[in-house]
Amino acid sequence: MSETIIWGDAPLRWQELVAVAAGGARLELSDAAWRRIENARQIVQHIVDEGRVAYGINTGLGALCNITLDPPQLSQLSRNTLLSHACGVGPLLGEAEARAIVCAAIANYSHGYSGISPRVVQGLLALLNQRITPQIPSQGSVGYLTHMAHVGLALIGVGQVSWRGQTVSAEQALREAGLQPCPLAAKDGLSLVNGTPCMTGLACLALADAERLLDWADVTGAMSFEALRGQSDAFDAEILALKASDGIRHVGERLRNLTADSAIVAESRGVRTQDALSLRSMPQIHGACRDQFAHAARQIVTELNAATDNPLVLGSPDAWRVVSQANPHGESVAMAADLLAMALAELGSVAERRLDRLVNPLVSGLPAFLVAEPGVNSGMMIAQYVAASLCGENRRLAQPAVLDNFVTSGLQEDHLSLGTSAALKLLKLAENLYQILAIEYLLAGQALDFHGAHRAGSGTQQAWRLLRAQVATWQEDRWLAPEIARAATIIKTERL
């Protein structure tokens, strides 16, 4: 039976969102969350009943905010909002990515400031828990709107979804799951497309990737360090403590533990005065990346726990306020995703420098390209080319999205975060980094074989055994691409 996670009584954690979006956990809301949602909805209904004018409740949207609508038009406005905003293009998001967006939307509504109908939130929970996944084109968002509009279409039985391993119409999936298309009322359409759930949900998935990649970069780096006969003074705890960085301290401790009891490191002591920076600066580089991860995670979790609609509904039906503001602006998430992208690009860049040293006999002291009979065998030569190519792509992906800007909605929305673009390119960059570290993993494992992997450190030897359970030592050239894929799978699924 799958785990059930209940939101609404405590701050939300990004790990919980990932457990639902990618791990198959069920999601429910607490009684307190439902009371908050219902209270805000009563305020919206009170405004409609009294004929009071409030943006997004009984007016047009964006540049059309000064057009007042009659009550009979409000349900049609909500439906039309979804239809007109669902204009994304390009490849579809993956299932976990689509589910992450739905999760973040439910988190937004659970705070009780949206004014959305409770039945709409119930419909979103049903999509998640019955695994009816809206098909969402990946391109077209300058911050929000388009991706969530495609989610909203699935609720009302329009468009296509993934259901039981097939692509079917939303109408068919709802019918087969015993659900009805969700009727919409005042503000429901705007609440469905508004806010920062898209960038926040995607960024939470990226945090999960980044956390794993940071851990494995230490592992593959430690293996390369041993294979290149690194000087362990660079990881001295007293020296690293002279920089007051939690990340540096943590990485130094991990590298010492991974290479503990290594006969290779012990025998290498004093073979050179100092190592190349790609080896001796691992605590400083990996540590800086960890510090940026910690900052980005704080920003993203803050957004996950925020009410990000416009307008927001406050108070009670007897004493209420509807405030038009800019909480949907995702500047903090965009900056966090861009910062983390730079950190992960650097993690890959220094890994590529290490693995390049492994294949170069001028600096490695090992057979050229890590194969016993170079010449007739090319060995790991071209694997380094692949890593270099991926690093080049990551440098391009690490360019900040948040610095782009455009003007939309007839000058009404004249500064945009590009937060969804930032999160999507971060996910692509992370996937590239899995492959770069997989290549370093293969090459470092092969290099340790030449030294005698049984003489490696306690942690690096464990990592080598994991690799050798899937990929045999190279004696002569064989098809390398599947072995990179196997190494990447180990990094994606295993932890030391």
Please list the active-site residues: 55
Q: What SS3 state is found at 464? A: helix
Cβ burial of 60 (10 Å; 0-12, 13-18, 19+) is middle
For residue 327, give Cα distances in angstroms to 53, 299, 306.
21, 14, 8
Structure tokens at 99: 């589910």
In DSSP terms, which residues pair with 134 in a beta bridge? 161
**Residues in the chain, how many?**
496
DSSP state of 62: G
Which 8-state DSSP code applies to residue 408?
B
Closest CA to 41 of 207, 223, 186: 186
Give the separation between CA 390 and CA 383, rounded to whole angstroms.
11
Distance, CA of 23 to CA of 44 (rounded, Å): 35
Burial of 425 (0-12, 13-18, 19+ CB in 10 A): buried
Q: Number of helices (H) and strands (E), helices first, in the chain? A: 20, 9
Instruction: Write the CA distances from 118 to 179, 241, 299, 306, 354, integer angstroms.
Output: 15, 52, 28, 18, 54
Q: What whole-number distance in Å separates Cα of residue 152 and Cα of residue 158?
A: 9
Residue 165: CB atoms within 10 Å: 6
The CA–CA distances, whole Å, from 419 to 86, 145, 162, 312 equal 18, 12, 25, 21
The type of residue at 95 is: E
At what angle are helices 246-258 and 282-304 packed, to 10 degrees? Answer: 120
Q: What is the DSSP string of 89-151?
A: EEEEPPHHHHHHHHHHHHHHHHTS-S---HHHHHHHHHHHHTT-EE--EEE--SSSSHHHHHH
Contact by Cβ (8 Å): 257, 462: no
CA distance 194 to 204: 18
376 exposed, middle or buried (CB, 10 Å; 0-12, 13-18, 19+)? Answer: exposed
By C-alpha distance, which of 215, 336, 349, 342 is closest to 281? 349
